């Protein structure tokens, strides 16, 4: 599986958003934009008005919102849309909305949610994101017990991209990768200091000593 370091951008203004995109877009293949509505999680970030006319890049939108289809229909393009399994009311509607928008579907799962909640949907998604913190804020401690969840999903879907998000840094990235996550999202560990060097070090640390 292709190993990717994915910068996670959690900001409250379009100015911050564009600044962070410009810092990383030449160094990575995927950029994650974290969108929060202040209801599904206890924080609120940029809204739809900030997402139009973004620089060319491969984006994945991590929708920490209720009624994600209402947001996705206003965000057309070939993007990955990561929808929380806890917010699904009408899965067929979500799938059709993403198809009409020209995007692709992935699912995200919170720490307290069992893997079994994902199983009915796995045949229809391209990616799963495992939260290793409770969503809402950057800078939380990585929950190492979530690696068991990553292993279970990897057993179920050996060739699927599995992403981990939350508390990923040089001290935790190796465990996440060895558990089966090949997409590794990080915020502070990417943006604090020299970005290109941070990304290179994260990638090297993740893969060193793992049996593929």
pLDDT band at 44 (very low <50, low <70, confident <90, very high): very high
| Residues marked as catalytic | 34, 165
Structure tokens at 210: 């793992």
d(CA 136, CA 79) in angstroms, rounded, equals: 22
Residue 42 has pLDDT above 70, yes or no: yes
Burial readout 129-158 (b: 16 or more C-beta within 10 A, e: otherwise):
bbbbbebbebeeebbeebbebbbbbbeebe
Class of the CATH-defined domain 4-207 = alpha beta
Give the separation between CA 82 and CA 150, rounded to whole angstroms. 16
Tell me how crowded residue 86 is: count the other CB atoms within 10 A of its CB: 16
pLDDT of 143-161, one tens digit each? Answer: 999 999 999 999 999 999 9
76-108 per-position pLDDT tens digit = 999 999 999 999 999 999 999 999 999 999 999
Structure tokens at 48: 């739809």
**Which of 126, 176, 136 is CA-nearest to residue 43?**
136
SS3 13: coil
Burial 189-204 (b: 16+ CB within 10 A, else e): bbbeeebeebbebbbe
- Whole-angstrom Cα distance, residue 94 to residue 76? 14
Q: How many CB atoms lie within 10 A of CB 73?
A: 15
Confidence grade of residue 136 (pLDDT, cut at 50, 70, 90) = confident
The predicted pLDDT at position 211 comes to: 61
Rg (CA), the chain: 16
């Amino acid at each position: 599986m292709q190993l990717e370091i994915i910068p996670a951008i959690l900001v409250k203004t379009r100015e911050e958003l564009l600044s962070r995109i410009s810092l990383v877009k030449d160094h990575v293949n995927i950029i994650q934009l974290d969108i929060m509505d202040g209801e599904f999680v206890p924080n609120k970030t940029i809204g739809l008005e900030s997402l139009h006319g973004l620089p060319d890049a491969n984006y994945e939108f991590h929708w920490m919102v209720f009624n994600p289809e209402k947001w996705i229909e206003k965000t057309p393009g070939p993007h990955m849309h990561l929808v929380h399994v806890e917010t699904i009311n009408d899965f067929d509607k979500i799938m059709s909305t993403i198809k009409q928008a020209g995007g692709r579907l992935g699912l995200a799962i919170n720490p307290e949610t069992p893997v079994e909640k994902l199983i009915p949907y796995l045949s229809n998604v391209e990616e799963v994101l495992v939260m290793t913190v409770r969503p809402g804020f950057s800078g939380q401690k990585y929950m190492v017990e979530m690696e068991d969840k990553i292993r279970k999903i990897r057993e179920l879907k050996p060739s699927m991209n599995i992403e981990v998000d939350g508390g990923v840094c040089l001290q935790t990235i190796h465990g996440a990768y060895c558990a089966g996550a090949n997409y590794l999202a990080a915020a502070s560990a990417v943006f604090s200091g020299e970005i290109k060097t941070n990304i290179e070090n994260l990638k090297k640390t993740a893969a060193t000593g793992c049996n593929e």
